[in-house]
């Protein structure tokens, strides 16, 4: 079997006496979009923070393509190709689309000409004709696409996305998840995505995990996992299309 891109074994995180999660084990496979869901406070953002090296785990192991990397700091993980996104659009609003893209290329130490893959994606998602527009003049959904393009330009091996559709109207969401799917395929990135929007998870993810009260309570294909009783119970009080 092919080696997973990232392997998590027995990962545990406490804040003081508060257990956020305990003994989490799962694989993020090559070219996979793995969904992570769970009620508010389940530890999803904390998991992303631990995986990208922003905060240290209390115990457990993180392996990246066969190399043990737990204990690495944020900048070390980013050098190894593990990047995360934030909830905001992550662009410089007063700069043009072109300037934002050049910034992303410079930041990751690359040639200043975007590759053909990037140009194709920009064309497909309506950004190519808008290179000289100020990015905060774009519709918010398109600003999010630009922010996502900027992250993909760094060619991460592992991309950790924390609620990339947050703040978007339901009608604007398909564009960002279509972009994530297209860019993931184009760059062969392994993606872990935290989302409350189960329809988005169903559209994007081949596998998903469910966190509840610090435990991994389910792992598998969305259509199977989302019909399990223990998963439905964890979601009592939450709606399927909650976007924040
Ligand atoms: N820096 C911190 N110090 C102490 N406790 C924290 C810290 N960060 C998060 N927590 C606690 O850890 C738990 C998990 O928080 P986290 O933000 O990871 O949840 P989440 O699953 O991302 O929730 P949401 O769906 O609301 O974004 C919460 O109880 C939170 O209060
Ligand atoms: Mg969160």
**Can you give the pTM of this predicted structure?**
0.92
Mean pLDDT estimate for the chain: 91
Give domain status of residue 110, yes or no: yes
Higher pLDDT, 187 or 240: 187
Pairing of strands 158-162, 59-64: unpaired
For the sheet with 59-64, list strands across it: 18-28, 6-15, 59-64, 67-68
Q: Which residues pair with 9 in a beta bridge?
A: 61
Inter-residue contact 163 to 89 (CB < 8 Å): no
What is the rounded distance in angstroms from the CA atom of residue 222 to the CA atom of residue 201?
A: 7
3-state secondary structure 113-169: CCCHHHHHHHHHCCCHHHCCCEHHHCCHHHHHHHHHHHHHHCCCCEEEEECCCCCCC
What local confidence, expressed as pLDDT, does residue 107 receive?
77
Mean pLDDT within 24-36: 97
CATH number at residue 152: 3.40.50.300
- Quick one: average pLDDT of 30-46? 95
Q: CA dihedral in degrees (11, 14, 17, 18; nearest 10)? A: -100
Q: How far is the CA of 20 from the centre of ligand 1 (A)?
A: 7
pLDDT at 202: 93
Q: Which ligand is closest to the CA of 47, given by its number?
A: 1
Residue 242, in any domain of the structure: no
The first and second tokens of residue 180, run together, are: 């994530």
Question: Which range of residues forms the domain containing residue 116?
Answer: 6-234
pLDDT score recorded for residue 114: 79
Q: Has residue 51 been placed in a domain?
A: yes
If one counts the domains in the chain, the total is 1
**106, part of any domain:** yes
Q: Please give the DSSP secondary-structure letter assigned to residue 77.
A: H
pLDDT tens string 162-214: 999 888 998 999 999 999 999 999 999 999 999 988 999 999 999 999 999 89
pLDDT level of residue 132 (50, 70, 90 thresholds): very high
In the 8-state DSSP scheme, what is residue 4?
P
Rounded percentage of the chain residues whose pLDDT exceeds 70: 94
pLDDT in tens, 73-99: 999 999 999 999 865 557 787 799 999
- The total of other beta-carbon atoms located within 10 Å of residue 205's CB is 24
3-state secondary structure of 30: coil
Domain presence at residue 136: yes
What pLDDT is recorded for position 167?
Answer: 87
Say if 239 falls within a structural domain: no
Three-state SS for 52? coil
CA of 42 to the centre of ligand 2 (A): 8
Tokens of 171: 């009608």
Mutate to test the pocket of ligand 1, among 11, 35, 43 (most ligand atoms within 8 A of CB): 43
Q: Which atom of ligand 1 is nearest to the CA of 46?
A: 18
- Answer yes or no: is 1 within a domain: no
pLDDT band at 2 (very low <50, low <70, confident <90, very high): confident
- pLDDT for the residue numbered 94: 78
């Amino acid at each position: 079997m092919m080696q997973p891109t990232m392997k998590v074994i027995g990962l545990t995180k406490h804040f003081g006496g508060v257990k956020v999660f305990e003994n989490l084990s799962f694989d993020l496979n090559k070219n996979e979009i793995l969904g992570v869901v769970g009620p508010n406070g389940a530890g999803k953002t904390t998991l992303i923070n631990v995986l990208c090296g922003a905060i240290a785990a209390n115990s457990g192991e993180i392996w990246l393509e066969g190399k043990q990397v737990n204990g690495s700091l944020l900048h070390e993980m980013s050098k190894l190709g593990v990047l995360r996104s934030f909830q905001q659009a992550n662009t410089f609003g007063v700069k043009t689309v072109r300037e934002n893209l050049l910034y992303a290329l410079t930041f990751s130490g690359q040639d200043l000409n975007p590759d053909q893959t990037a140009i194709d994606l920009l064309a497909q998602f309506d950004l190519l004709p808008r290179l000289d527009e100020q990015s905060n003049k774009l519709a918010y959904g398109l600003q999010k696409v630009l922010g996502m393009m900027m992250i993909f330009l760094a060619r991460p091996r592992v991309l950790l996305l924390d609620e990339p559709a947050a703040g978007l109207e339901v009608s604007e969401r398909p564009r960002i998840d279509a972009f994530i799917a297209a860019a993931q395929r184009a760059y062969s990135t392994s993606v872990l995505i935290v989302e409350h929007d189960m329809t988005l998870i169903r559209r994007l993810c081949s596998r998903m995990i469910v966190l509840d009260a610090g435990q991994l309570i389910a792992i598998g294909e969305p259509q199977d996992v989302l019909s399990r009783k223990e998963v439905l119970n964890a979601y009592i009080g939450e709606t399927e299309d909650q976007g924040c």
